[in-house]
Homo-oligomer: A and B are copies of this chain.
Amino acid sequence: MSLLQLPEEQLLAREQVLSHAYTQWCAAGLKLDLTRGKPSPAQLDLSDALLGPLEGGHLAEDGTDARNYGGLDGLPEAKRLGAALLEVGSDEVLVGGNSSLELMYRVLFFSHFFGLRPDATPWREQGGVKFLCPVPGYDRHFSICQHLGIEMVPVALTGQGPDMAQVEALIGQDPSIKGIWCVPKYANPTGETYSDETVARIAALGRIAPKDFVVMWDNAYTVHDLHTPGDALANLMELARRLGTQTSIFITGSTSKITHAGAGISFLASAPANLARFRAHLGMSTIGPDKVNQLRHVRFLKDESTLRALMRQHAEILRPKFDRVLQRLEAALGGKEIASWTSPRGGYFISFNTLPGLASEVVGLCRAAGVALTPAGASFPYGRDPQDSNIRLAPSFPSLEEIDRSMEVFVLCVELATLRQRLASRA
């Protein structure tokens, strides 16, 4: 039943019981971590063939020696892999190094300091530019904006993606808005997948936005389904091509949560003219990405059915962990009307909301009891959650036992913080 309707004496009694339990947890010397969306060792093991010999030799299908310099664009077979993963044409994709975040950073700083198109004024010289940030979102996207001095404008997420009426209205009013961050499938951290209508409206933003507007489409979880069939995401590039807005589209992805995190290959998709400019920019700083690793990945991932089978194995490992978190939350907090949370069908996170004003308190209580959570506010621009209610839970790395103990502490802290807030407000 709702905790909020309990009479004060019961609240007080419950607070004492939980305080006592909390003190015991604090003394238990736990060291648990639910902070980051890292794959677990069991998931990494699935791709250990990558640590074995490189199958098929060092020559790419076009005869390129992967062991030598060159190839800013990526090997043809690696481009095909990227094109399949991001659902774009091979001429619309470029293969990067081990980090898709690096590619996103490059798109932004290139736009900011140099201008993305030959005729564009760099954002920086336009007297203050802004970016739309659906919230809660991915902290590293927001760090890039902050680092570059791009003002962030939060936009609500609806469960079907960003509130598009709000997005369109903001863009219509303010030409200094130069882009939007999107994690369109199993969003970090809400887990939502953008609806067909949302995707169609995002594809059309290039019609109402300035010419140098960019849709940063971080499709990090495109094949990361926990259940079969996974969520279906409409094809943004195809829609954009139809509308003639494809130069506003920048899609990124990587193999980091497919094979080995941080030791894989990354992809950037955009209109060919954008990629040509981007390559010229990249060419200032590197002779090319690691092509041996491209071959390793292409040959290990082979084809779509091999990739899908691998992702099903990931799901087998991840699903019980997500289920356990959700069971624990439901068992301890269900019906109490003091919290809400998402039940994602894929991705790496569960997004949890306390009552307003409690997230920092809960994270602090957990920390003191030895359970590390992503800092409250991390999923918001400038690290500030105006409601102070969102907490991102990342169940992928810890074991089931660690999840059990972490969640026991977590739900206790949520209830304890809520009780204390209630009691304080009545006092």
Are A102 and B293 in contact, CB atoms less than 8 angstroms apart? Answer: no
Cα separation A261 to B65 with both chains bound (whole Å): 10
Task: Tally chain A residues at the interface, Cβ within 8 Å.
Answer: 47
With a cutoff of 8 Å between Cβ atoms, the chain B residues found around residue A143 in the complex are: 284
Are A262 and B284 in contact, CB atoms less than 8 angstroms apart? Answer: no
User: Which residue from B41, B68, B71, B285 sits with its C-beta under 8 Å from A105?
Assistant: B285
With a cutoff of 8 Å between Cβ atoms, the chain B residues found around residue A319 in the complex are: none
Nearest B residue to A287, CB-CB: B262
Q: A51-B292, A54-B51, A262-B68 are in contact. Are A286 and B101 (CB under 8 A)?
A: yes
Tell me the chain A residues, 41-75 only, with Cβ under 8 Å from chain B.
41, 44, 47-48, 50-54, 58, 65-71
Instruction: Check A36 for interface membership: any CB of B closer than 8 A.
Output: yes
**Chain A residues close to B by CB (< 8 Å):** 36, 38-39, 41, 44, 47-48, 50-54, 58, 65-71, 97-99, 101-102, 105-106, 113, 140, 143-144, 147, 256, 260-263, 284-293
User: Which residue from B68, B98, B113, B289 sits with its C-beta under 8 Å from A38?
Assistant: B68
With a cutoff of 8 Å between Cβ atoms, the chain B residues found around residue A144 in the complex are: 284-285
Cα separation A48 to B57 with both chains bound (whole Å): 10
Q: A98-B290, A262-B70, A263-B292 are in contact. Are A284 and B58 (CB under 8 A)?
A: no
Are A36 and B292 in contact, CB atoms less than 8 angstroms apart? Answer: no
Q: A97-B98, A113-B113 are in contact. Are A69 and B288 (CB under 8 A)?
A: no
With a cutoff of 8 Å between Cβ atoms, the chain B residues found around residue A113 in the complex are: 113
Are B69 and A41 in contact, CB atoms less than 8 angstroms apart? Answer: no
Are A69 and B102 in contact, CB atoms less than 8 angstroms apart? Answer: no
Nearest B residue to A259, CB-CB: B67
With a cutoff of 8 Å between Cβ atoms, the chain B residues found around residue A58 in the complex are: 44, 48, 51
Shortest Cβ gap from A260 to chain B (Å): 4
User: Which residue from B105, B285, B288 sits with its C-beta under 8 Å from A284?
Assistant: B105
